[in-house]
Structure 1
Amino acid sequence: MKRSSGVLMHISSLPNKYGIGSFGQSAYDFVDFLYESKQKFWQILPLTTTSYGDSPYQSFSAYAGNPYFIDLDCLQEEGLLKAEEIEGIDFGENNQSIDYGLIFKNRQTILDKAVEAFKRKNFSEEYHQFLLENNHWLEPFAEYMAIKETFGLKAWYEWDEPARKREAGAMNKYREDLADRLDYYRITQFFFKQQWQKLKIYANQKGIEIIGDIPIYVARDSVEMWSQPELFKVDNQGNPTMVAGTPPDNFSEDGQFWGNPIYDWEYHRKQNYEWWIERFKESFKLYDWVRIDHFRGFESFWQVPITAKTSAEGSWTKGPGYELFANVKKTLGQLNIIAEDLGFMTQEVIDMREKTGFPGMKILQFGFDDLGDSPDLPHHYSENSIAYVGTHDNETAIGWAIDTASPESLRKLEDYLGKLESESIADCLNRGIAMSTSCLAVYRMQDLLNLDNHSRMNTPSTLGGNWQWRMTENQLTDGLKNILLKLTQTYYRENHFDSLSKEQFI
């Protein structure tokens, strides 16, 4: 990775009139913004479906795309929707916040119409090819979601026994009775794939690469838990015996109780990590680079008995370690991977990351929470690292300065970075990562816009109020572009992109 920079902003945060960001025109406008400010990367969060809590890290599927990101204007242009079918639909009054309840309620009705129009046109060869290439995950996902509807959207472990255990007779009956709903889930995934690939090609043709995200765990309410229970530590009913979390720390006396099922790593090892190899293979069809969330969990992880009252009852357990990545590399070759190596680090985790060669992450904000010589200060950064002011899980720079930082922390920041009178705290911290020796500096959009914690993306261990922030159309200004461009050129991170042929990116 050459010295470069990029911007972290999820698809959901893009502006439009449909309540949530999508793969529509504003996404192309954002690519143009990145190109004109000489950025190399656009980092996003997982593109998978969201479930309880609206988190992209709690998905019904490790593979299926989020239908909320399907752009409705694009469907109109393809003749699959009429303007009057969208007019009058309530997507929420606040264009700076996502109302997931309204999106869930109203968007499917619109997509139903587009699916029916698509079916009337006769299925294309491209669609048949899509079904063929994605059958291994698409059919179980379509079945899972269609059956989930018949049970009032309850989690699979609350279904009746024939459905829960995928009994042959019950499954054949569902496939016959739910044929239209199965088509809905197949076709909306096709819409998602078509629109995303078109957007990604556009970005790549402008020299912009996409950094995607793989959550280490899947949700308990997921197609994988239902259709492949052998992947996890489960009882004879397919229910998890152990779940993921974090130990007690300075932020939580009880630790964090995530509730995700724990992998049966011995089973994965015997299968030569085939499921993980397939997951990486599919991820690199979507992204140019992949950030592995909770990378330290592959060395050792905190597992908690499902019966525990709090995560404090858990224990550290060894993961697959470097062996998993060696198998992935042997099968797929050298991959562009970023290790999210934040949190409780040990020498064993550091050794595993260094053996893989993956760049790790550095959070500048943490460097000023510690009044001593923190490892999160730039003079400790290695070239093989990615520098952030903060991630989607942290306060915005302005929010941190207002709500959390002590006077001593702010004085340390000003002394260390030489804060200019014309700079905000966010500007100063952005400059701090730009001038670091890290090969890549990634700026959060909220920090470029100098927004406070009302625009924070996620507060860990809380439900409600997360994943909602959106930009407005008037925030992506020429003035902002020029500020980012100057920052990029001053610290020699500009993307030296010359026009290249489409074939190099497709």
Structure 2
Amino acid sequence: MLHSWMAQRAAGVLLHPTSLPGPHGAGDLGPNAYYFVDWLHGAGQTLWQTLPLGPVGPGFSPYMGSSAFAGNPLLVAFEPLVQRGWLRAESLQSAWGDERIDYPVLVPWRMQKLREAFAGFGQHATPEDQAQLATWAQSQQHWLDDYTLFMALDHAHSPALWPQWPPGLAQRTPDAMAQARLQHALEMAFWCFVQWQFDVQWQALKAYAHAKGVRLVGDLPIFVAHHSADCWSRPDLYQLDAVGQPTVVAGVPPDFFSATGQRWGNPLYNWAAMAQDGYAWWIERVRRQLQLADVVRIDHFRGFVDYWEIPATEPTAIHGRWQLGPGAALFDALAQALGDLPIIAEDLGLITPAVHALRESTGFPGMRVLQFAFSGDAHNAFLPHNFEPNTVVYTGTHDNDTVPGWWASCSGHERSFAAHYLGVAPEPGAAVHWAMLRAASFSVARLAVCQFQDVLGLDGQHRMNTPGTMGCWSWRFKWDWVGPEVAHQLAQITAASGRVGFERLQS
């Protein structure tokens, strides 16, 4: 089964908005996001894939945020706030450049600017502004009220995690909740304002992208953080003890890459409780993501078939066990509520026949990563000649090195095999990134996506994330790295492979 949204061959680029250039310490939804859409259009690309758009968590990872529904406050651009008269332009003058993101310094600075904008809104907002905010807040009430209260309480009780808050707040007793809403009304209003501006700015960018023929591909992590509005507001949906601490946590078992596995630490869902109301929380979560993006990649798809359950007392993932997930029941409920689901299933790693069967029953396309294609022989499932059309092929993902970085560090067998397969010289400095892009684009996979770093041919110093390490997620590019010939060459490859109109070859 091929979903209707996969009917046309298409190509796109993976770039998180924080990696965009800009004058305020990190990329955001300001002018450079619109310039990037223009660049995508000129390069024949019809997809822009991002990482999760939610708030960042520990280590500033977008995969461990404080809400599965909220947007990242750090993405709110300041230029529209200045234009509305809510923020003084002179207050933004700083020494920020286009270098890597210095999160420990940047986060408090940007949050202070948002607080100044909120104060300016309070002083200068028109009745129409106030009405628009109220209308938006009403439309998002099912998650917004709990989120804003959680953030207000987090601000008041930091660094304590929510189970260490006063018992009435941790257990959400009616009296404590009513008092907290009164006591923290102004702080709740601030977080509501920030989320409203995120949504206004994102929807404007989305509309601009659509006008340029570019669809947005989002990313949905399978799990949520323990210290999150989701877990605090609905503890019954997670495997927690009486005081709110996880009894078991998520991860993956030991494998070739790690003798102790990976202990992610996310609380695990109480799938039986979720099934009782027809997976209502998941329906609302996916509905929200489809308001933000046209297509959504679901991370760790195999966890819906079975997942690695680790006792919370264990320091590593060694002593875990496999437990059954919800399987088809969840996706049947989602399809019944939301219709045709434009979802990409991240089916990488140790994939069992049951995972293949679930993905095939949903009709979701799976993923293939070309950097994984050359470790074996011609039967490797990641080689383009072994693809099926219902596939999304990547040169690499955010967890991979850049293609030149991979080329510099791969084994001799991989380099020799790749050189023969891709038709490049097996030596350092070969333009292997263009060969990989061409192989992805000319494959039968309906969608082909590459990291922006791979379009630019950047080395391993420019990778976005190295799993299991700190100091990631901070990469940014500069426009003077992007010459006009790059867009022209990418457009030609994309057009010749039938992923955009042939007229691009004539330009």
TM-score (norm 2): 0.94
Counterpart position of 1:108:
111
Structure 1 residue 153 displacement after superposition: 3.7
Distance 1:4 1:495, change over 3 A: farther
* 1:42–1:210 CA contact under 8 A, matched in 2: yes
SS of 1:419's equivalent?
A: coil
- How far off its partner does 1:465 sit? 1.7
Match of 2:66 among 49, 60, 71: 60
Give 1:413's aligned residue.
Answer: 418
Judge conservation of contact 2:395–2:437 (CA < 8 Å) in 1. Answer: yes
Task: Indicate whether 1:16 and 2:13 are aligned.
Answer: no
Whether the aligned pair in 2 keeps the contact of 1:206 and 1:497 (CA below 8 Å) is no
Cα deviation, residue 157, structure 1: 2.1
Structure-1 residue corresponding to 2:403 = 397
Query: Whole-Å Cα distance in 2 between the matches of residues 492 and 456 of structure 1?
Result: 29
Name the residue aligned to 2:449.
Answer: 442
Is residue 206 of structure 1 aligned with residue 173 of structure 2? Answer: no
Within-5 A mapping of 1:270-419: 270-371=276-377, 373-403=379-409, 405-419=410-424
1:174 shift after superposition: 2.0
Shift of the 25–496 alpha-carbon distance from structure 1 to 2, 3 Å rule, reads farther
Query: Displacement of 1:315 after TM fit?
Result: 0.8
Is the counterpart of residue 146 in structure 1 residue 152 in structure 2? yes
Contact 1:40 1:495 in 2 (8 A): no
Q: Where does 1:58-137 land on structure 2 (aligned, <5 Å)?
A: 58-88=64-94, 91=96, 95-120=98-123, 121-122=125-126, 123-137=129-143
Distance 1:160 1:193 in 2: 32
**If the length of structure 1 is used for normalisation, what is the TM-score?**
0.95
Q: Distance in 2 between matches of 1:436 and 1:263?
A: 38
- After superposition, what is the alpha-carbon deviation per residue over 1:261-296, rounded to whole angstroms, capped at 9, x for unaligned? 000011111111111111111111100001111111
1:486 aligns with 2:496: no
Match of residue 179 from structure 1 = 185
Q: Are the counterparts in 2 of residues 233 and 240 from structure 1 also a CA contact under 8 Å?
A: yes
Report the aligned-residue RMSD.
1.6
Q: Secondary structure of the equivalent of 1:368?
A: coil
Secondary structure in 2 matching 1:45:
coil
Distance across 2 between alignment mates of 1:36 and 1:197? 22
- The answer on whether the counterparts of 1:3 and 1:440 sit within 8 Å (CA) in structure 2 is yes
Post-superposition offset of 1:229: 0.3
Secondary structure of the equivalent of 2:307? strand
Which letter maps to 2:174? A
Alpha-carbon offset, residue 75 of structure 1 = 1.2
Cα deviation, residue 12, structure 1 = 0.7
Shift in Å, 1:124: 2.6
Q: Alpha carbons of 1:496 and 1:204: their partners in 2 closer, same or farther (altered >3 Å)?
A: farther
Distance across 2 between alignment mates of 1:330 and 1:313: 38
State the partner residue of 1:502: none
Between 193-202 and 329-338, the greater mean CA deviation after superposition: 329-338
- Mapped partners of 2:153, 2:503: distance in 1: 48
2:273 aligned residue: 267
Matching residue of 1:427: 434
Matched, 1:454 2:461: yes
CA distance in 2, matches of 1:440, 1:372: 22
Question: What amino acid is aligned across from residue 65 of structure 1 in structure 2?
Answer: G
Question: Would the aligned equivalents of 1:390 and 1:444 in 2 still touch at CA under 8 Å?
Answer: yes
User: Which residues of structure 2 form unaligned runs of 5+?
Assistant: 1-5
1:497 to partner: Cα distance: 11
**Structure 1 residues 72 and 496 mapped into 2: Cα distance closer, same or farther (>3 Å)?**
farther
* Secondary structure at 1:399 match in 2: helix
Across the two proteins, how many residue pairs are aligned to each other?
A: 493
* SS across alignment from 2:219: strand
Does the 8 Å contact 1:245/1:257 carry over to 2?
Answer: yes
Distance 1:73 1:490 in 2: 39
Structure 1 residues 18-41: Cα deviation after superposition (integer angstroms, max 9, x where no partner): 111111111101101111111110
C-alpha contact 1:38 1:496 (8 A) present in aligned 2: no
Q: Is the 8 A contact 1:458 1:467 kept in 2?
A: yes
Q: Deviations over 1:179-220 (max 9, x none)?
A: 211111000001100000000000011110000011100001
Q: CA deviation at 1:370?
A: 2.7
Post-superposition offset of 1:158: 2.5
Moved more, 427-436 or 38-47: 427-436
What does the per-residue CA deviation read over 1:136-175, in whole Å, with 9 as the maximum and x for residues that have no partner? 1111111111111111243212222222112222222222
- CA offset at residue 477 of structure 1? 2.6
| Counterpart Cα distance in 2 of 1:100 and 1:156 | 23
8 Å contact kept, 1:339–1:361: yes
What amino acid is aligned across from residue 36 of structure 2 in structure 1?
F
The answer to whether the 8 A contact 1:39-1:495 is kept is: no
Secondary structure of residue in 1 paired with 2:245? coil
1:49 aligned to 2:55?
A: yes
Q: Check the 8 A contact 2:13/2:47 in 1, yes or no.
A: yes
4+ residue runs over 4 A deviation? 420-423, 495-498
> Partner amino acid for 2:122?
K
In the TM superposition, what is the alpha-carbon distance from 1:328 to its structure 2 partner?
0.8
Q: Which amino acid is the alignment partner of residue 459 of structure 1?
A: T
CA distance in 2, matches of 1:201, 1:21: 19
- Secondary structure (helix, strand or coil) at the match of 1:311 reads coil
Write out per-residue CA displacement over residues 287-330 of structure 1, whole angstroms, 9 at most, x where no aligned residue.
00011111111011111010112101111111000111011111
Report the secondary structure of 1:258's partner residue. strand
3-state SS in 1 of match to 2:13: strand
The offset of 1:420, in angstroms, is 6.5
2:3 alignment partner in structure 1: none
- Aligned counterparts of 1:443 and 1:495: Cα–Cα separation in 2: 19
The residue that corresponds to 2:478 in the other structure is 472
Partner SS state of residue 25, structure 2: coil
Q: CA deviation at 1:437?
A: 0.8
